[in-house]
Amino acid sequence: MADRPKGKPSRGGPDKKGTPDKRSSPFKKAGPPKRGAALSPSTPKRTYNADRTASLRKNRQDAIAHAKDMAKRMGVEPVDKSKLSEDGERLHVRIAHSGICSRRAAEKLILEGRVEVNGKMVAEMGIKVSDTDEVRVDGQIISIAKLYTVVVNKPLGVVTTLYDPQRRPTILKYLPDYGVQLKPVGRLDMETEGLLVCTNDGELALRLAHPKFGVEKEYQAIVTGIPDEKALKSLREGVFFDGRKSLPARVDIIHAEPKSNTTGLRITIHEGRKRQVRLMCELVGHPVTSLKRIRYGPLYLKGMRAGECKLLGKKDTDELRRMVGLPVN
């Protein structure tokens, strides 16, 4: 094989100084592990987590120091923590309850020096406020929004979102105007109808949607074919999709129609993965032709017309809060 001309390194090989060609080297420098990625056996998990925690703590300390320095340069006196209530709620929680942003976003507002309590700028985290304290964000007084939770019988062909760039019908059309933004808890796909919970209580919505709390969701499904015991067992014990197995589910046959080759199933799951019931049935060889959610935790669809919205009373709301470990108001 003929030698290459001098001064022209081979692809991925050393240059004339003997160093690898960075542009064409097949070896890339390994970056930090991505969030959720498995660590290599040589990387102690505890050490990595400890380093990450220390880094996050240092970033927060730097942000607090920056906020205090900014207050000093602006000639603004920071709020005196000792003069505030010790039994109130945390400031970022109060801001989140006003409905203007999430708790995490509220923390960012505080560290950016955009929050005032009783006319004085807040420059650190951990401050608690009472009902008598005046809280301002960007100079505007915030008030605690009243919490509302409603249930909607979502019709077919409606998207579970407040805005759709494709201009399809959205759930917003069926929500009442209480002066607050009601948001759906989880989603029902466009071809699925039934019970949908919407609320402006962010804490309640977060816990209802989290699989850790195991809120039951019951569906009526019409599937093609008549599932045998093997298919029913797979549905009950869990099937693999999207890289992991679904949690055990309750599955009962409501009716079977040999003439139309369809079966009615009642399926109860504890997760909220995307198109979960449809994927489960498809993977055991019985695709869904019709799907309706008839129950969400203690709430039932019975008696509601398509598109109907109902405001939950204190009894139902308190039951939802207790179910996910939240205090009753």
- Active site amino acids: 189
Give residue for tokens 């989140």: 96
309 Cβ partners below 8 Å, 6+ apart? 150, 151, 152, 153, 174, 175, 176
Classify the C-alpha dihedral 180-185-189-192 as positive or negative: negative
Segment (H or E) for 63: helix 45-73
Distance CA 279, CA 276 (A): 5
The number of beta carbons lying within 10 Å of the beta carbon of residue 278 is: 18
171 Cβ partners below 8 Å, 6+ apart? 152, 154, 158, 159, 160, 161, 162, 184, 196, 198
Distance CA 22, CA 25 (A): 5
Contacts 24+ apart (CB under 8 A), 169-177: 171/196, 171/198, 174/307, 174/308, 174/309, 175/150, 175/309, 176/150, 176/309, 176/311
